[in-house]
Chain A
Amino acid sequence: MSIHDFWTPFSLYPFLNALFIGISLASIFFIAALGLTIIYGAMGVINMAHGEFIMLGAYTTYVFQQFLGVPFLLCLPLAFIVLALIGWIIERGIIRTLYQRPLDTLLATWGLSLILIQGIRLIFGGQPKYVSVPKFLDFQIEANFVHLSGVRLFIILFAIVIGAVTWFLMYKTTLGVRVRAVMQDKEMAAAFGIDANKIYSITFAYGAGLAGMAGALFAAAKTVFPDMGSGYIVEAFLVVVVGGVGLVGSMFSSGILGELSSIFSYFTNGTFARFILFTLIVVFLRFRPQGLITEGATRR
């Protein structure tokens, strides 16, 4: 056994390919984390069931496609709507009761995630399901160092679009202004007649809807199974925690995480790469003060 079992030597084309895959990964992290970022940014809520919202989006797509013959592209907005509805209900039912208790919210949403995973498993069984890729996406790009499937390309493009749409909503609409007002100062916003509770419901629903769409996309790229959400949750959290709460921050952190993930995976095998990445993040976070210092910000 030598070092080569853990470490692949460097060669240009495969490395460049890895960089490119990094972009694909970054786009996946970005879309997966966007909903979580918005929810956390607006409400300070860490939703441990976020991965399950993604999973539910995937299953929604599966059901619509398999049983109702709905074309894939239409499943995207449908997944958004279904999850937005579910998100709305969850926010009013559970999240609302736990506003001043972030740790308890984390735990309650974990319990929720358990319920969702098992519920889906009971209904659909544990076997993986497949969502068929629409014809127009069924291609592969093979040029020089780039090996990319049509679906992944679509995801990258979608990430850009959804990022732009969200930016527009947040910064160019009155609703967006209201959300940002509540994010900054709930009481002040209330003084201006903004109903914070309503904003929270809408924001949570939007974040859930985004997760649903992410799930629909990922369903086409990979298989659909009850635990699939858990694969995204840690990375999604890290995107939020590293990038901070802003849209631009998420972009950068998903970019960095995606690239680093891919590069480490290139040099060493997948799971060990995860270890290096996570440890680096933990070390990095220790030195980055923003968003980590949760006390001392209280008005005294």
Chain B
Amino acid sequence: MAILELKEVTKTYNDFSVVKGFNLSVSKGELRCLIGPNGAGKTTSLDLITGRQKLTSGTVHFDGKNITKLLEREIAVLGVGRKFQVPAVFKELTVRENFEVSYTERIGPFQNMNPFTKKHSRKHFNEIIELAALGDRLDTVAGLLSHGETQWLEIGMVLMQKPRLLLLDEPTSGMTEQETEKTSEIFKELKGEHTLVVVEHDMSFVRSIADVISVMHQGNMLAEGALSEIEQHPKVKEVYLGTEGIN
């Protein structure tokens, strides 16, 4: 069952098409990796899915529902969480507060004015803190975290949202090998219950987590399939500069 369905998605600026008739179908519980050279349209596709940019044409369906024209927050509330390429956390708030804000069971202003509302579910909170390994940094201002810690903070925040679909844009950029490995463990644990779409450049990371890989090139789908298929694909090799293949 496809939880995310992109049909002929196109985004054109003036005369230039960043994304051209792009089709994507992700099944529930899958861990899909979206790879491709810079400028292929990966981040733009995420923008189009989440409502950050408007589609020129095409449709996006989430769990059967047409979300093409919805606002970012409406899409988020439906269960789509996004982690940005440049880590977006609330830099002036502490780690704990970042998590509290991300707990979005009550979303309206007046609901949240109630002083007796739980700021978050204790159990869920603790689970995520442990996952993100930020237990001893709870009262640190987020702006002071290391790059890797900030990435995990954001991943944790997205998880606090309790999303069904997670869109992660280069989650391991700037991470050490250990951190990358750990992220790989987390993602493998998350899939099944959640659906993940991961945009990545680190091929060893992709290798360790992907169920299916989609390769984008110049705004369109170049190839799609399991890791072995992709590695052997002639067009993919060509696009990734030379015959060494993707490494």
Q: Is B52 at the interface (CB under 8 A from chain A)?
A: yes
Q: Which residues of A contact B52 (CB under 8 A)?
A: 296, 300
Q: Which of B33-41, B81-89, B109-117, B123-131 contacts A (4 or more CB under 8 A)?
A: B81-89
Q: Is A299 at the interface (CB under 8 A from chain B)?
A: yes
Residue of A nearest to B84 (CB): A300
User: Could you tell me which residues of chain B, from 1 to 54, have a CB within 8 Å of some CB in chain A?
Assistant: 43, 52
CA distance A296 to B84 in the complex (A): 12
User: Could you tell me which residues of chain A, from 259 to 300, have a CB within 8 Å of some CB in chain B?
Assistant: 296, 298-300
- CB A294 to nearest CB in B, in angstroms, measures 15
Q: Mark B80-102, 1 if CB is under 8 A from A, else 0.
A: 00001110100000000000000
Q: Mark B44-88, 1 if CB is under 8 A from A, else 0.
A: 000000001000000000000000000000000000000011101
Which secondary structure dominates chain A's binding surface? Answer: loop
Q: Which residues of B contact A296 (CB under 8 A)?
A: 52
Residue of B nearest to A296 (CB): B52
CA distance A299 to B43 in the complex (A): 11
Q: Which residues of B contact A299 (CB under 8 A)?
A: 86
Residue of A nearest to B86 (CB): A300
CA distance A296 to B71 in the complex (A): 13
Residue of A nearest to B88 (CB): A300
User: Could you tell me which residues of chain A, from 2 to 38, have a CB within 8 Å of some CB in chain B?
Assistant: none
Residue of B nearest to A298 (CB): B86
Q: Mark B208-243, 1 if CB is under 8 A from A, else 0.
A: 000000000000000000000000000000000000
CA distance A300 to B53 in the complex (A): 12
- CB A295 to nearest CB in B, in angstroms, measures 11
Residue of A nearest to B169 (CB): A300
Q: Which residues of A contact B88 (CB under 8 A)?
A: 300
Q: Which residues of B contact A298 (CB under 8 A)?
A: 86
Q: Which residues of A contact B86 (CB under 8 A)?
A: 298-300
Q: Which residues of A contact B169 (CB under 8 A)?
A: 300
CA distance A296 to B88 in the complex (A): 12
CA distance A299 to B44 in the complex (A): 11
CA distance A298 to B84 in the complex (A): 12
Residue of A nearest to B46 (CB): A300
CA distance A300 to B86 in the complex (A): 5
Residue of A nearest to B85 (CB): A300
Residue of B nearest to A299 (CB): B86
CA distance A145 to B232 in the complex (A): 82
- CB A287 to nearest CB in B, in angstroms, measures 16
Q: Which residues of A contact B43 (CB under 8 A)?
A: 300
- CB A103 to nearest CB in B, in angstroms, measures 15
Q: Which residues of B contact A300 (CB under 8 A)?
A: 43, 52, 84-86, 88, 169
Cross-chain pairs A/B with CB under 8 angstroms, 10 sampled: A296-B52, A298-B86, A299-B86, A300-B43, A300-B52, A300-B84, A300-B85, A300-B86, A300-B88, A300-B169
Chain A residues in contact with chain B, CB under 8 A? 296, 298-300
Chain B residues in contact with chain A, CB under 8 A? 43, 52, 84-86, 88, 169
Additional pairs, 7, CB under 8 Å, beyond known A299-B86, A300-B84: A296-B52, A300-B43, A300-B52, A300-B85, A300-B86, A300-B88, A300-B169
For the complex of A and B, list the 10 residue pairs with the smallest distance between their C-beta atoms, beginning with the closest.
A300-B84, A300-B86, A300-B85, A300-B88, A299-B86, A296-B52, A300-B43, A300-B169, A300-B52, A298-B86
